[in-house]
Chain A
Amino acid sequence: MELKHQLPAEHTRRKTGKLFFLKKELLRNKYVYLMLIPVVAYYLIFSYGPMYGLVMAFQKSYSPIKGIWAGEWIGLDNFKMFFDSYYFWRIIKNTLILSFYSILFGFPAPIILALLLHEVRKKWFRSTVQTVSYMPHFISVVVVVGMLKTFSALDGGLFNVVRSFFDMQPVMFLAEKDMFRPLYILSNIWQGAGWASIIFLAALSGIDPQLYEASKIDGAGRWKQLLHVTLPGIMPTVVVMLILRLGAVMNSDFQKILLMQTAPTYETSDVISTFVYRSGILEGNYTYSTAIGLINGVINFSLLLMANSISKKVNSTSLW
């Protein structure tokens, strides 16, 4: 009997305790909470709002007038339609191949540049190379693609002038499906390698100079030092950057690809994001393209989780 009476009393006491605490906390930090109102509102509307909008992926169509819950529920039909479509393998393949080549050629480029810069003794030369090689980073993607376009003009474009030196026929580079990947990756390296080297340079400057001294005493030359001191020294940074990159393997530079691609190159250039754009925004298949976006987002998220747990085991470096 007594126990029965006691329980609710205890419960209410705890509740008022918590309420009392909350009230006190709200009052004490009232200005901080006031500051966070627009922040929370922003994230709720512009980050979680679209996530809520993902329910469209399970509907037949979207009506701007009736709202998000009025659509006819069709379960996983949108996903099935995508898996069965001719484009499914093409855009998955293109996204992965482009990422694979970008990592293969693009990822080592800034590391090599940083290593070269690290070996320079003259400070002025080093900072000159840095300033110059960072420069392309500040050119907008639109201009870079614009440059690619003018350079690949059939008549007197730079690329075709160079081809003519080797007695090769002029080629419409941006309309050749086999040229899309090399152009995309090389221009990315041209634009981004310098800037990306900053992170590795910082890691290099963090290596303990005593290690170099010690290896010198042991008779190691510059090459040996590079292999046994420098490279191990930046490995943790390299691994973290690689994990980040692998986590984004299903992501592609939507902006640049969209600007670069032409209908004749869709076979190699069409990736998930450009497909979603065309099918969603241009053709109005909102629910279908939302479903494709959702698949992409889920894969990306799980890839990142996987990459992170691998790195935890291998290197004891984690992103969080």
Chain B
Amino acid sequence: MKRSAGEYLFDGFNVLLLCCIMAISIYPLLYVFNSSISDPDALMRSRSLMLLPEGFQLEAYKVVFQNPKIYTGYLNTLFYVIVGTLVNLLMTSLAAYGLSRMDLYGRKTLMKLITFTMFFGGGMIPTFLLVQNLGLVDTRWAIIIPGAISTFYFLIMKTSFESIPESLIESAKLDGANDFLILFRIVLPLSKSILAVMTLYYAVDHWNDFVGPMLYLRSQDLYPIQIIMRDILISSSTESMGAGADTGFAIGENIKYATIIISTLPIMLVYPFIQKYFVQGALIGAVKQ
């Protein structure tokens, strides 16, 4: 079909607008990256928009990589992401399978009680005191156990499990399989894509978790990377930056920018390849709502 002049104008304006949106999305990261590799003195004096780096150094990255706090922070985060996500997946699968059994006595009551927790809770202080009373404060478990199931993700997974044909489960039962076998050998292998989505969502939540560690962790050697980054970026703690007298004060700003890049780059590089799973997750979530 031929397009009229009006159509061309419409499309051209649309593309222009979207290009602006892309530029706005990328620009702050470009600014941060260019600043991170700029010369410290040039950066201090610079009054430009940093579309290109001014001068060049990688000293800041060296300092960041040599900073033991960032190193242990990364390791701790890795632990919280891996162990936390495994616990999440196990607990969520158990809940989703159990409560997708339509013939289960008490299913409706349990579902009501669980869904209610999405809309009402005890709040920050009672939760904090509970975690404290359980003796979890300042242990790694405080980060992993209190959020073992996200009710929202559980509902998504349950809906997905319910779409698995009942006859499949019935016939496995006739063959003498118990529910554990059915869950791990039939239901989960059939739900690979929903598992991928859940893994990504839980993992990103753990990666970004800041409030949990802030409330429950006291020892520096348990801190995840987000707490370390708060100290460097927001509290501007030079001690956390790992910038001693030998590196000088001038490089401080470069270190901040380099820290942002190092903490953001991994996900930025991986994300375009796994984007479809994230989008899938967002969509299932929306349908659920």
Indicate if the CB atoms of B286 and A223 lie closer than 8 Å. no
Indicate if the CB atoms of B105 and A29 lie closer than 8 Å. yes
Contact of B248 with A by CB under 8 A: no
Q: How far is the CB of A276 from chain B (nearest CB, A)?
A: 6
A132-B22, A286-B125 as given contacts; A35 in contact with B179, CB under 8 Å = yes
Indicate if the CB atoms of B124 and A49 lie closer than 8 Å. no
A131-B275, A301-B120 as given contacts; A35 in contact with B125, CB under 8 Å = no
Contact of A171 with B by CB under 8 A: no
User: What separation, in Å, do the CA atoms of A56 and B130 have in the docked complex?
Assistant: 12
Contact of A263 with B by CB under 8 A: no
Contact of A214 with B by CB under 8 A: no
Q: How far is the CB of B142 from chain A (nearest CB, A)?
A: 11
Stretch in B12-20, B64-72, B160-168, B188-196 touching the partner = B12-20
Interface residues of A (CB under 8 A from B): 22, 25, 29, 31-33, 35-36, 38-40, 42-43, 45-54, 56, 62, 64, 113, 116-117, 119-121, 125, 128-129, 131-136, 138-143, 145-147, 149-151, 153, 155-156, 158, 161-162, 164, 190, 194-195, 198-199, 202, 221-223, 237, 240-241, 244, 254-255, 258-259, 273, 276-277, 280-281, 286, 289-290, 293-294, 296-298, 300-301, 304, 319-320
Q: What are 30 contact pairs spanning A and B, CB under 8 A?
A: A46-B127, A49-B130, A50-B126, A50-B130, A53-B130, A56-B126, A113-B21, A119-B10, A129-B18, A129-B21, A132-B22, A138-B264, A142-B230, A142-B234, A143-B229, A143-B264, A146-B260, A147-B28, A149-B233, A158-B28, A162-B49, A199-B283, A280-B125, A293-B123, A293-B124, A294-B123, A297-B122, A298-B120, A301-B119, A301-B120
Please, which residue of chain B has its CB at the minimum distance from the CB of A174? B234
User: What separation, in Å, do the CA atoms of A244 and B288 have in the docked complex?
Assistant: 13
Indicate if the CB atoms of B207 and A31 lie closer than 8 Å. no
Indicate if the CB atoms of B25 and A136 lie closer than 8 Å. yes
* Neighbouring B residues of A237 by C-beta, 8 Å: 286
Indicate if the CB atoms of B123 and A50 lie closer than 8 Å. yes
Indicate if the CB atoms of B179 and A31 lie closer than 8 Å. yes
| Interface residues in B227-274 (C-beta closer than 8 Å to A) | 229-230, 232-234, 236, 253, 256-257, 259-260, 263-264, 267-268, 271-272
User: What separation, in Å, do the CA atoms of A273 and B125 have in the docked complex?
Assistant: 10
Please, which residue of chain B has its CB at the minimum distance from the CB of A162? B49
Interface residues of B (CB under 8 A from A): 4, 6-7, 10-11, 14-15, 17-18, 21-22, 24-26, 28-29, 31-32, 43-50, 91, 94-95, 97-99, 101, 103-105, 110, 113-115, 117, 119-130, 132-134, 145-146, 148-149, 178-180, 183, 204, 207-208, 210-211, 215, 226, 229-230, 232-234, 236, 253, 256-257, 259-260, 263-264, 267-268, 271-272, 275, 278-279, 282-283, 286, 289
* Neighbouring B residues of A281 by C-beta, 8 Å: 124-125, 128, 215
Please, which residue of chain A has its CB at the minimum distance from the CB of B47? A161
Indicate if the CB atoms of A39 and B14 lie closer than 8 Å. no
* Neighbouring B residues of A149 by C-beta, 8 Å: 233-234, 236
Indicate if the CB atoms of B122 and A62 lie closer than 8 Å. no
Indicate if the CB atoms of B180 and A221 lie closer than 8 Å. no
Q: How far is the CB of B103 from chain A (nearest CB, A)?
A: 7
Of A141, A147, A241, the contact of B32 (CB 8 Å cutoff): A147
Indicate if the CB atoms of B260 and A36 lie closer than 8 Å. no
